[in-house]
Amino acid sequence: SEKTLSNLVANLEDESDAVSPELLAREVSRRRNFAIISHPDAGKTTLTEKLLLYGGAIHEAGAVKARKNARHATSDWMELEKQRGISITSTALVFETHGRQITLLDTPGHQDFGEDTYRTLAAADNAVMLIDAGKGLEPQTRKLFEVVRMRKLPCFTFINKMDRPALEPLELVDQIEKEFGLATYPVNWPIGSGDRFIGVYHRPRNEVHLFTKEKHGTKAASTQIIPWGDDSLESLIPSELFAQLQEEVEMLNELSPPLDMEKIHSGDLSPVFFGSAMNNFGVELFLESFLEYGITPKAHESDLGEVDPDYPHFTGFVFKLQANMDPKHRDKVAFVRVCSGQFTRGMKVQLARNGKTIALTRPQKMFAQDRTTMETGYAGDVIGLNNPNAFCIGDTLFCGPRRLFPGIPSFSPELFSYMRNPNPSKYKQFLKGITELLGEGAVQVLYSVDSGRTDPILAAVGQLQFEVVQYRMQAEYGVETTLEPLGYSVARWVTGGWAALEKVGKLYNCATVKDQWGRPVLLFRNDWNVSQLLSDKPEIGELAPYALPP
C-alpha cells in the first residue's frame, strides 16, 4: 500500500547518514577528550598552553595566556561581552598529536564559575584534576570533583607548581585518598621541590627524568632520561634527595596499588603526576601517559539503551549555549557533543524535544582565537552550531530512529535571589526573558511555595550568572530588573516528591520552593541545616544535590 511504501522510503532515508562501522571505529579509537578541573590560579591556563605546546599545536607558549590577560584588562560591561567572546572561542580546543586527536574542553575558571562549568563535564570522557602543590585540595576542585564522581569519569591528577614551596608529595596524595575516597597510582614521583625540584621518577618505565629549565618556559624543557639503578644517578642527584627518593620509591612499590586500567577507566583509580607547568616539567610525560591511559569516547545512556560511539547514525546532545552579548548580532552558539555516527556539514538532524528537522549549517570547530568550519565529526567531538533559538540545554539531536539522552542535571545552586520587575507594563517581556534564559540554562528558576510570593527566584552557582541575566534582560528584552538576595546557600531536591514532604509536616530552617517542573526543592542556609533535618526527620527520604530533567 501507499502507506507501507512511504514508510519504506522513510526508512531508506533514515539510513542516509549511516556510515561504516570500520570507519567509525577507526575515528573513535584515535580520539581522546578531557576537561581540566581546578581552583582558580592552580595553573589551568598555563597547563593548557603547555599541553598545546607539547602537542605541537603551538610553537611558542604565550597565546592562551595573552587571552586570559586580555580578559582581565577591561572593566565595564564590555568586559562581559569580551569574556563571552573569548569563552566562545575556547570552549573546545582541538589538536592532533602522536596520531591522536585531542579535544580539551574548557571549564571556565574564576569569575565565570557557573553552571556551564558543571555542564562542560557532561561532554567530557576524562577529567584532569589540577592541584596547586602548595595548597592541596581547594573549594572549586572539591565541587567539580563531585561531578566527576557522579559521571564516573576517569580522573587524572596533575600536581602543579612543584617548583615552589610544596606540601609533602605523600601528604598531597593522602588528601586525595582520604577526602575523596579515591585510590591513587602515582605514575611519577617528584625529586625535590621548590628550587630543588629537578625531575621525576617514572614508575611504569622505571626511569628517572631530569629536567633543565628553558628561558620563561616558552619552549619545551630539555630532559635527560636515565634508567633506575644506573650508576650515574648518584652523581646527578644531590645525595640527600637521592636517598629520600630511594626510600620513597621502595615505599610506593610496596604500598601503592597496581596500575589497573579498568579501575582508571571506571574512575576508581587516579593516575597522579607531579610537575611544573610553568617550567614545562612533567608536562610531556603527562601528555604521553594520558594518551595511553585515557579512555576513548564512550557509550551514552539513552531511552533505548546505550548508544555506542560506533553506532552508525549520528546522535549528539547540546551541553552548552552561549549567547553573544552584542545586541546587534544576536547570534547564539549551541555546543553539541557528538555521541555516535558521523557528523557532516549541512546534514539534517531531528530534535528529539519537538521532532523538528534542523539543517546543521555553519558548524564550527575552535582553536584558540580562530573558528574554522567543521566538515566532519565523530563521537567525542564538539561542534558549535549557529542556529539561533533552535536549541535548549540538554537537547538530543539524532538521525535514524528517535533516541533521547537523559539531559543534563541541574546542580545545587548556591546563590538565590528574587528577581523583580518593577514596571508592570513590561510584564510580558519579563516573562519571555525569564523563560528564554531558563531554556538556555543561563540560570535556574525556582518559585516559592511557602511564602506566597510569585516573583521568580533566580538560582545560580556563580555571581556572574546573575549579572549576565540582568544585563541580558535589559539589553535583549528591555526590562530593568532588581534583585533581592535570599540568605540561603544550599538547595536539595526532595527525591520522594511532595508526598514525602507532607509526611514530615512542618519544617524549620529551610524554605520550600519548586523547580521549573514543579518538583519540591528545599533551600538551606548551610550544610549543617541539611544534616540536621536528615537526622531529625529521616522519613523525608533522600535529599539530592542535583536533579535530572523529568
Q: Which of 31, 54, 90, 109 binds ligand G4P (CB under 6 A)?
A: 109
Least distance to ligand G4P, CB of residue 132, Å: 8
Q: Which of 122, 153, 221, 277 binds ligand G4P (CB under 6 A)?
A: 277
Stretch that binds ligand G4P, among 155-163, 298-306, 394-402, 530-538 (CB under 6 A): 155-163
Q: Is 45 in the site for ligand G4P (CB under 6 A)?
A: yes
Question: If DSSP states are collapsed to H, E and C, what string results for 30-63?
Answer: CEEEEEEEECCCCCHHHHHHHHHHHCCCCCCCCH
Stretch that binds ligand G4P, among 82-90, 121-129, 140-148, 158-166 (CB under 6 A): 158-166
Least distance to ligand G4P, CB of residue 339, Å: 29
* Angle, CA 440 vertex, CA 434 and CA 443 arms, to 5°: 60
3-state secondary structure of 431: helix
Q: Is 417 in the site for ligand G4P (CB under 6 A)?
A: no
3-state secondary structure of 220: coil
3-state secondary structure of 373: strand
> Which C-beta is closer to ligand G4P: that of 187 or that of 445?
187
> Which C-beta is closer to ligand G4P: that of 62 or that of 478?
62
Where in 311-456 does DSSP place strands (E)?
Answer: 315-323, 332-340, 343-344, 348-351, 357-359, 364-367, 370-373, 376-377, 382-385, 396-398, 410-411, 415-420, 444-448
Stretch that binds ligand G4P, among 10-18, 270-278, 329-337, 422-430 (CB under 6 A): 270-278
> Which C-beta is closer to ligand G4P: that of 218 or that of 532?
218
Sign of the torsion angle spanned by Cα atoms 117, 119, 123, 128 = positive
Q: Which of 117, 140, 276, 481 binds ligand G4P (CB under 6 A)?
A: 276
Q: Is 161 in the site for ligand G4P (CB under 6 A)?
A: yes
* Separation CA 81–CA 320 (nearest Å): 17
Q: Is 50 in the site for ligand G4P (CB under 6 A)?
A: no
Q: Which of 17, 27, 32, 43 binds ligand G4P (CB under 6 A)?
A: 43
φ, ψ at 390 (rounded to 5°): -80, -25
Alpha carbon of residue 459 to chain centroid: 20
* Separation CA 268–CA 177 (nearest Å): 11
> Which C-beta is closer to ligand G4P: that of 223 or that of 495?
223
Total residues belonging to the chain:
550
Least distance to ligand G4P, CB of residue 49, Å: 8
* Separation CA 252–CA 237 (nearest Å): 19
Q: Is 60 in the site for ligand G4P (CB under 6 A)?
A: no
Q: Is 214 in the site for ligand G4P (CB under 6 A)?
A: no
Helix axes 44-54, 283-293, angle to 10 degrees: 80
> Which C-beta is closer to ligand G4P: that of 48 or that of 412?
48
> Which C-beta is closer to ligand G4P: that of 163 or that of 395?
163
Question: If DSSP states are collapsed to H, E and C, what string results for 256-325?
Answer: CCCCCHHHHHCCCEEEEEECECCCCECHHHHHHHHHHHCCCCCCECCCCCCECCCCCCCEEEEEEEEECC
Non-local (6+) Cβ contacts of 308 within 8 A are: 299, 340
How many residues bind ligand G4P (CB under 6 A)? The answer is: 18
Q: Which of 46, 83, 103, 396 binds ligand G4P (CB under 6 A)?
A: 46
Stretch that binds ligand G4P, among 36-44, 242-250, 359-367, 381-389 (CB under 6 A): 36-44
* Separation CA 265–CA 152 (nearest Å): 8
> Which C-beta is closer to ligand G4P: that of 91 or that of 276?
276
Nearest to 194 by CA among 287, 274, 289: 274
Least distance to ligand G4P, CB of residue 90, Å: 11
Q: Is 40 in the site for ligand G4P (CB under 6 A)?
A: yes
Q: Do 337 and 418 form a contact (C-beta atoms < 8 A)?
A: no
Least distance to ligand G4P, CB of residue 133, Å: 8
Stretch that binds ligand G4P, among 12-20, 33-41, 239-247, 349-357 (CB under 6 A): 33-41
Q: Is 38 in the site for ligand G4P (CB under 6 A)?
A: yes
Q: Which DSSP helix (H) or strand (E) runs through 251? A: helix 239-255
> Which C-beta is closer to ligand G4P: that of 194 or that of 346?
194
User: CA of 289: how far to CAs of 87, 125, 285, 532, in Å?
Assistant: 28, 16, 6, 45
> Which C-beta is closer to ligand G4P: that of 121 or that of 479?
121
3-state secondary structure of 142: helix
> Which C-beta is closer to ligand G4P: that of 162 or that of 264?
162
Stretch that binds ligand G4P, among 137-145, 156-164, 370-378, 518-526 (CB under 6 A): 156-164
Q: Which of 31, 44, 119, 313 binds ligand G4P (CB under 6 A)?
A: 44
Q: Binding string, 62-101, against ligand G4P, x = CB under 6 A?
A: ---x--x---------------------------------
Q: Is 278 in the site for ligand G4P (CB under 6 A)?
A: yes
3-state secondary structure of 17: helix
Q: Which of 27, 115, 116, 163 binds ligand G4P (CB under 6 A)?
A: 163
Q: Is 42 in the site for ligand G4P (CB under 6 A)?
A: yes
Q: Which DSSP helix (H) or strand (E) runs through 483? A: strand 482-486
Nearest to 379 by CA among 124, 149, 155: 124
User: CA of 453: how far to CAs of 158, 418, 448, 494, in Å?
Assistant: 48, 9, 6, 21
> Which C-beta is closer to ligand G4P: that of 17 or that of 106?
106
Enter the DSSP assignment of 504: H
- List contacts with ligand G4P (CB under 6 A): 38, 40-46, 65, 68, 109, 160-161, 163-164, 276-278
